[in-house]
Structure 1
């Protein structure tokens, strides 16, 4: 037996008195972002706050990860996950609480994830008389590199703290605040990030005829790579090949010896993934040979993410409960996304269902509208250009703080109580 709507509403009612504290905590995290694997200050702040709520806190799990446990009688163990690493981006939001760490920014909302989980844990601790079971709160590092979840699992997360019955996770999204989105089945793409080093033969810029120019070689490679999706992947399949970094040379009149590309590949099936990776290998080596490279190019893996699968039944159960609190018209299916996530590693490693959803964090003013449901319809139909709104991994992305905290805490508390046992007497 799980908690009913009245129990959930009662628990969420405590949000009013802590919303200001949570907003201050969020702004502090936003001002002090830390890159993947280096979230030492963030982990300390999280551990201090959660420990004060009565949770049993363990730090240093899988590097800088934090695990907080609260046992409350017999019942399911529910894993609530939030990541908390930042990105190597220089913030240009102009916010008074903008990043003070030059070149590092919370441009994907992970500071909001940690804040909302903290708020949910506080409300759940205060509502212990209404539920039974165990909360396993996981504050995860290094999501952006795809190594954080696996690192915690490899550090014997489940051997040390027990296996959960469900994994619940959420992520900010660039749609109006107050809306919740989730897709059953394959919900997020797999990622392969690659580093390609092309070897030429440098020389003076005035004598290209005695060189093998790696800049031209790299440019030709970039253009040829763009034909993989358009000419080698079937129209009813899907893939993304992005060259996100191209580095070569130091001065206008020096032809360098080498050039480096960094590729990001997104796929949904093993077959398409293998086809894309094989094409990348063939094209990189072929362009190098055509250019007369002095030696074969090098291709190395930067990081990988597996496909993320949402358990359809778990997602439906959770989103139905959230819809009963926020209103069913505030919950929708966005389709599968080409973004990637490592939250699913917790579920697959434990052999339990994953339920992962997104919550909107942008103010209605950013869309120039007043009805969030209609705004989403307008974006999906093309009446609003999504490029006109700042999205994750950009220097201008930031949540509308107070309503985003409300939405994220409400969703996480609702989801947790939907899966925890009920301490209320049977009717």
Structure 2
């Protein structure tokens, strides 16, 4: 499979470069979808467009048998590209800084590899919009969540996906059991104070800035003193806004931030601690503090059985030395919704070239080693074949 994939390198890279040059934000991937459809049409694969807004779903069916999903996300990020590549983004302020252009290209490469493969069953290719966020979705759903809601995963025995990671050398792939990516939640805290003259009569006010400062400091104790040393969590305040003048006690301060956890128990515990800290801070100062925590993406969990088959496919096409195991990453990933709907495996594919660029995901300077792309296509295709064989075998 690897040799066949290497023969498709020019095809895969050309698709990637075209998409990289024309990035589109979530739920706006109209040109990207058109390019995907054009390739699927050339391959002779039936498809449905307009799925979950701008998504595309195609199937390669060869007789009766199980169904395996290969998922690729399509959206870019609101980032100004600074790579200097000859195929840099031609859309100012939008860049494929997470590598979803490579995911689409590798997914289409896998489809082309599987056209001539011998198997019984169906490979369903899911080209998904809006992984990076919910954007203006009326229900507040990301593309992965909306696709699950629309039943894209019905009848599937397993699903696989990969994410390129420039922190891992090309030729390596990380496939682990259990948590791969963190739950990603957001909080908004509003401290209600009472305005007064900060120089003449500060005692007449309730200083929302002082309360907010205490909340920020106390939130840092959650990870240090409420989460066990062998567990993992992140609580970060990202914005703090309040006050109107240097001589006025602030009447209101607004804080926002993120919570990252790797299991449901820790997630619930951290949420409860944030809410309690806010409630008690308000009571201590004779006022109220509103706390809203919005659940984002759940933990991306690999099924141990599917991951074992995926590792076997990696050994087959990439070699034993390719397999590594990165610790769980604290970024969020909406393949987590797929993994809740069907047994799944999410792999991390190394795309760091020999120049060892220090720039990683979401950097305006991120560069992908394109020699990794045929490896990703080969792994996707081989894993799909091995899963189809596994689920078709008598039990």
Q: Secondary structure at the match of 1:226?
A: helix
**How far is 1:200 from its partner?**
4.3
CA distance in 2, matches of 1:94, 1:215: 43
CA distance in 1, matches of 2:242, 2:352: 37
* Divergent runs of 4+, >6 A: 202-208, 249-256
Q: Secondary structure at the match of 1:167?
A: strand
- 8 Å CA contact 2:23–2:96 kept in 1: the answer is yes
| Equivalent residue number for residue 337 of structure 1 | 329
Matching of residues 4-403 of structure 1 within 5 Å: 8-9=1-2, 12-13=3-4, 15-16=6-7, 18-125=8-115, 127-128=116-117, 130-145=118-133, 147-158=142-153, 162-173=154-165, 174-200=167-193, 209=202, 214-248=208-242, 258-290=252-284, 295-301=288-294, 303-349=295-341, 352-366=342-356, 389-400=358-369, 402-403=370-371
Larger mean CA deviation between 332-341 and 222-231 belongs to 332-341
Q: Secondary structure at the match of 1:81?
A: strand
Alignment of 1:417 onto 2:385? yes
- 8 Å CA contact 2:67–2:124 kept in 1: the answer is yes
Q: Secondary structure at the match of 1:196?
A: strand
CA distance in 2, matches of 1:325, 1:187: 22
- 8 Å CA contact 2:67–2:388 kept in 1: the answer is yes
TM-score, scaled relative to structure 1: 0.79
| Equivalent residue number for residue 136 of structure 2 | none
**How far is 1:205 from its partner?**
8.8
**How far is 1:116 from its partner?**
0.7
CA distance in 2, matches of 1:94, 1:249: 42
CA distance in 1, matches of 2:129, 2:259: 22
**How far is 1:251 from its partner?**
8.4
TM-score, scaled relative to structure 2: 0.85
**How far is 1:187 from its partner?**
2.8
**How far is 1:139 from its partner?**
1.0
What is the alpha-carbon root mean square deviation over aligned residues? 2.9
**How far is 1:105 from its partner?**
2.6
Query: Tell me, which stretches of 5 or more residues in structure 2 are unaligned?
Result: 134-140, 391-395
CA distance in 1, matches of 2:225, 2:83: 39
Query: Tell me, which stretches of 5 or more residues in structure 1 are unaligned?
Result: 1-7, 368-388, 423-427
Residues 134/261 of structure 1: CA separation in 2 closer, same or farther (3 Å cut): same
**How far is 1:321 from its partner?**
2.1
**How far is 1:183 from its partner?**
0.7
- 8 Å CA contact 1:204–1:255 kept in 2: the answer is yes
Q: Secondary structure at the match of 2:120?
A: strand
CA distance in 1, matches of 2:197, 2:43: 65
